[in-house]
Amino acid sequence: MKKVVLNIQNLNQSYEKQQRVIKALSLLIYEGSIVSLVGESGSGKTTLARLIAGLEVPDSGTIELNGEMVFGDDRFTPPEERGVGMVFQSYALFPHLSVEKNIAYGISKKENIRATVDETLELVGLLEYRSRYPHQLSGGQQQRVALARTIAAKPKILILDEPFSNLDTSLKLQLRNEIFDILKSVQCTVVFITHDTNDAMAISDTIAVLKNGSLQQIGTPREVYGQPSNEYVASMFGTIVRLSHEDLKYFGFKAKENRIYAIRMDELQTTPRCSYHTKAQVVKSSFLGTHYLNIGILPNKTKINFMTSEAVSGEFTLGFDSSSIFEFQKNPLN
């Protein structure tokens, strides 16, 4: 059975004269796992990370690290005693220190600092850059130095705060793979904060989806993508199209009352061979490089967006398979 590294129970946090930003949140993170916190801006991702690190004090609840209470029962362990490492999106490197001195900064004096620096530099592939300064490095190299500095301190848990947000797309993909390999090789327990669900899907063992400070769903990438708990979770992992009860009648789909139905835009098909289909009329087809984005009109005049590999025009068949439709419980906020 895997060891629990982080145990959060019923955590609450609010700022003065504002609503709660973390609401009754409970979360378990296991040793050696990479857990992504995803959600729209203001969902509470960064606040939760700061509470874990001890940079902010919760209103209530408990936080345990490696079985030790760091918040709760009238106890608060300061950040420097928690063993939580953070890599910020700004990297926060010391500009006046060389690469090796940046990495050595957080290493305990009880260790062989030179050996630890060498080992970490080799791990991130920067041995030959040890004497350079941050301004002499590329963005990707600076990111690896920031990661190396944190890993060298041997934290109990590592928090990556939007680590790829300052990088262009091609460099981000390369660095994402490199960082994933590094983290797995050192078997580090990681909390990865990101708004980019593609990054989360690519490197995570587990994804936790937040909305307005509440945990909406936690599961493997396959679970949160294929079995979202609500419409919000589904929308985080691709554009979805909501279909009304009236829309679904034309497809031959019998909808239930008090339910919301939606489908991913790329799951709509232009063939009568799928489970449910109807006639539609294309009003616009735009070429976007890898696909066409189309606007169709259903028999009841509802406009619907869908994707195709080739241009479509005039009247056509639009449909979907039964396995593609999402069904969610309707609540008063919907």
pLDDT digits (tens, 9 = 90+) for 35-52: 999 999 889 999 999 999
Residue 253 to residue 265: CA distance in whole angstroms: 17
In the predicted model, what is the mean pLDDT of residues 97-119? 87
- Does the structure show a pLDDT above 80 at 90? no
**Bigger pLDDT: 110 vs 219:** 219
Most confident of 17-21, 26-30, 308-312: 26-30
Mean pLDDT of all residues in 57-83: 94
Which pLDDT score, from 0 to 100, does residue 332 have? 47
Residue 166 sits at the vertex; the CA angle it makes with 163 and 169, to the nearest 5 degrees, is 95
Given pLDDT bands bounded at 50, 70 and 90, which one contains residue 31? very high
- CB of 217 closer than 8 Å to CB of 39: no
Q: What is the mean pLDDT of the chain?
A: 91
Residue 17 has a pLDDT of: 60
Confidence band, pLDDT 50/70/90 cuts, at residue 110: low
Q: How far apart are CA 280 and CA 163, in angstroms?
A: 44
- The second-level CATH assignment, the architecture, of 240-329 is Beta Barrel (2.40)
pLDDT band at 227 (very low <50, low <70, confident <90, very high): very high
Sheet holding 4-14, edge to edge: 20-30, 4-14, 60-65, 68-72, 75-76
Residue 283 contacts residue 302 (beta carbons within 8 Å): no
Let me know if 298 is exposed, middle or buried by CB neighbors in 10 A (0-12, 13-18, 19+). Answer: buried
Tell me which of 225 and 91 has the higher pLDDT.
Answer: 225
For 258-286, what is the mean pLDDT?
93
Checking if the pLDDT of 333 tops 60, the result is no
Q: How many helices (H) and strands (E) does the chain have?
A: 9, 18
Q: Which residue has the higher pLDDT, 274 or 18?
A: 274
In terms of DSSP bridges, do strands 75-76 and 68-72 run parallel, antiparallel, or are they unpaired?
A: antiparallel
How far from 200 is each of 25, 58, 266, CA to CA, in Å? 20, 26, 20
- Sheet containing 157-161: which strands, arranged edge to edge? 84-87, 157-161, 190-194, 34-38, 206-211, 214-219
pLDDT given for residue 6 in this prediction: 97
Question: For residue 165, is pLDDT > 80?
Answer: no
SS3 324: helix
Q: 139 or 314: whose pLDDT is higher? A: 314
What mean pLDDT is predicted for residues 272-280? 93
The residue-averaged pLDDT of 148-177 equals 83
pLDDT at 132 over 80: yes
pLDDT > 70 in the chain, percent:
98
